[in-house]
Structure 1
Amino acid sequence: MRRRRFFAWGLGLAACATGCGTERFAGSAAGPRARFSINPQGRRWTRVGQAFAGAARAAGYETGGGTRITVTGLPALAAAELNNGQTLLDTATPLSRLSGEVEVVVVPATSPFKDFEDFGAHLLARPGQTRLAGGPEGEPDHLLFGLIARGLGVDTRQLAYTGYLSSQEAVTELLSGKAAAAAGPLADWRASIKAGRVRALAVSSARRVPGLDAPTLLESGVRVDFADWSAAFGPENMPDEIRETAVRMCEDVTGSADWEAACRSEGWISIPLGGDDFKLWLGSEVERTRAVLRDLGLVDTTKATTCWGSCGNGH
């Protein structure tokens, strides 16, 4: 199994290389001259940050300085847990969930697993002999297999998982027969699915993906609703008035036609959830992630659930 590589970034350190900042001069209800600078926490969130900033400009916000808004997501949360660091709840102010990438479980076209039920039965009976592949250990693909194993009643510590730095490496390993199944963002596997080289057994979202002949995990009897999500955060100890204005700005953006168009273009799902509701959800997501990492043998921590508060609503 490859050596784990973990990356963690401080919310105050990573700046957007393309200068995607926004500001808006708000009215008296929002406070005088409210300004926001939107920045991705690292390279993997650059596209989301750019799309968010673009939709903000289209909604009437102008580029400039001001209160820093950081776009980050699940991998950063998991990295903090793996490195025994502080969670996003400790180091930042939750503002809004933004988007998510649907994950897919795939097998080679010639696999004896005809559907997810076949795969699940084999994983339950022989977890150590069902070789799995995906992104680096402890990151979303690995977390998804951990959640699937928990949902099936499999001993997650027996999973035979190999993590790769790129999705192309996982594709190569799957097609070479070195892995029985793989998981990853649907966008990374669409070409192989369309070419008939692999088959999709299930998607991780609560609803089916249009144009893809694959059931959800929920339909397949595994109580898991999952996405590699991104979200907006303000600085730690953000004043209440500025936080409220920032949450409203996020609502303006995620409710706009430009944001929906950007999500469709990129293949993301729009999953807005703002303010106190997002903070509450994030707390449950921290606990869920911590529990799965513990069950995978990567950390030693506490018990949690396998769904986002409600397994049937995609949020």
Structure 2
Amino acid sequence: MRRRRLFAWGLGLAACAAGCGTERFTGSAAGLRARFSIHPQGRRWERVGQAFAGAARTAGYETGEGVRITVSGLPALAAAELNNAQTLLDTATPLSRLTGEVEVVVVPHRSPFGDFEAFGAHLLAGPGRTKLAGGPQGEPDHLLFGLIARGLGADTRLLDYTAYPSSQEAATALLSGKAGAAAGPLADWRESIKAGQVKALAVSSARRVSGLDVPTLLESGVRVDFADWAAAFGPERMPDESRESAIRMCEDVTASADWEAACRSAGWISIPLSGADFKQWLGSEVERTRAVLRDLGLLGTTKATTCWGSCGNGH
């Protein structure tokens, strides 16, 4: 199968490992131990928020009151675009990227698609011929299928995608024959994969997931590196002193062994990126999300800049 090797903007982890996250702040011990009030934006980010607050306390920071930090992520960014609302860049102060949830593409165990190449060839030949399932419209699962179609060179607007409230409903649709393939958080599909109910065709991360013999999309010829990320934000118009103190705290916490252990336990990948580097990355992520939503037919056709991976800035 001939594929257009389009770089479809992932998290840019390799590039960031080489040069991002270098804006670190230094200060007094008192400044490093400022008080912070850590809150999830909604129930979706409760676990990340709790893990982050716990790791902060272990690192010696007082939580429960003080500088307010909100944990939010990609679904909130997408929702803002869909509702023509202000983005997180406009309504909050970006502090640090924290975690990512790896997504997986799955098919029923008896599916005719033996591997991702077979699935991709079918999707390219007829984007509307395979019924796709996943979470709510415009959220990470849907975005991932949009990125995959774009990476293959398929007409993204023709995708036949049905949105379900949760991975459980998407699994029911897949196993009952109402869908030919599904996408969702790997954590939600692990048991079904282990039980042999579904086959995992590819994971969305840049590197293979330990303990899972499943190729990445990159290995499968589609230039997509993607995760449902969560990040820490301060209030809008945050004073410089508070911002710098909060960034120091985020860097201390995400570099700690306690945080790494919490991420491993929850099945998240730790993807720290802070300060100006995170703000720059987030700006590209806003444009990326807007472009994919537009390709899916969920937004208007206003031109968006999508320099991800090709502008030479190492986002």
TMscore range, shorter length:
0.7 to 0.9
Amino acid at match of 1:190: R
> In the alignment, which residue of structure 1 is the partner of 2:79?
79
**CA apart distance, 1:29:** 6.7
**Using the alignment, how far apart are the partners of 1:302 and 1:30 within structure 2?**
47
Amino acid at match of 1:253: V
> In the alignment, which residue of structure 1 is the partner of 2:192?
192
> In the alignment, which residue of structure 1 is the partner of 2:98?
98
Amino acid at match of 1:218: L
**Using the alignment, how far apart are the partners of 1:308 and 1:191 within structure 2?**
34
Contact kept, 8 Å, 1:37 with 1:67, in 2: the verdict is yes
Question: Secondary structure of 2:128's match?
Answer: helix
TM-score (norm 2): 0.88
Contact kept, 8 Å, 1:92 with 1:235, in 2: the verdict is yes
Contact kept, 8 Å, 2:73 with 2:228, in 1: the verdict is yes
Contact kept, 8 Å, 1:99 with 1:230, in 2: the verdict is yes
Query: How many residue pairs end up in the alignment?
Result: 288
Percent identical pairs in the alignment equals: 82
**Using the alignment, how far apart are the partners of 2:81 and 2:226 within structure 1?**
18
> In the alignment, which residue of structure 1 is the partner of 2:118?
118
For CA contacts below 8 A with separation 6 or more, give which structure has more relative contact order: 2
**CA apart distance, 1:130:** 0.8
**CA apart distance, 1:307:** 5.3
> In the alignment, which residue of structure 1 is the partner of 2:304?
303
The unaligned stretches of length 5 or more in structure 2 are 1-25
Amino acid at match of 2:304: K
**CA apart distance, 1:242:** 1.2
> In the alignment, which residue of structure 1 is the partner of 2:89?
89
**CA apart distance, 1:67:** 1.2
> In the alignment, which residue of structure 2 is the partner of 1:260?
260
Q: After TM superposition, list the pairs within 5 Å mapping 1:139-218 onto structure 2.
A: 139-218=139-218
Amino acid at match of 2:127: P
Question: Secondary structure of 1:86's match?
Answer: coil
> Structure 1, residues 272-291: CA drift from partner, whole Å, max 9, x if none?
00000000000010000000
Q: Quickly say closer, same or farther: Cα 1:130–1:238, change in 2 above 3 A.
A: same
Q: After TM superposition, list the pairs within 5 Å mapping 1:200-239 onto structure 2.
A: 200-239=200-239
Q: Quickly say closer, same or farther: Cα 1:33–1:263, change in 2 above 3 A.
A: closer
Q: After TM superposition, list the pairs within 5 Å mapping 1:269-308 onto structure 2.
A: 269-300=269-300, 301-305=302-306
**Using the alignment, how far apart are the partners of 1:305 and 1:263 within structure 2?**
30
**Using the alignment, how far apart are the partners of 2:308 and 2:107 within structure 1?**
24
**CA apart distance, 1:31:** 4.5
> In the alignment, which residue of structure 2 is the partner of 1:64?
64
> In the alignment, which residue of structure 1 is the partner of 2:21?
none
Amino acid at match of 1:303: A
> Structure 1, residues 200-228: CA drift from partner, whole Å, max 9, x if none?
00000000001111111111111111000
**Using the alignment, how far apart are the partners of 1:299 and 1:229 within structure 2?**
22
RMSD: 2.0
**Using the alignment, how far apart are the partners of 1:306 and 1:153 within structure 2?**
18
> Structure 1, residues 109-150: CA drift from partner, whole Å, max 9, x if none?
100001100000000111111100000000000000000000
**Using the alignment, how far apart are the partners of 1:305 and 1:190 within structure 2?**
33
TM-score (norm 1): 0.88
Q: Quickly say closer, same or farther: Cα 1:85–1:124, change in 2 above 3 A.
A: same
Contact kept, 8 Å, 1:281 with 1:308, in 2: the verdict is no
**CA apart distance, 1:36:** 1.2
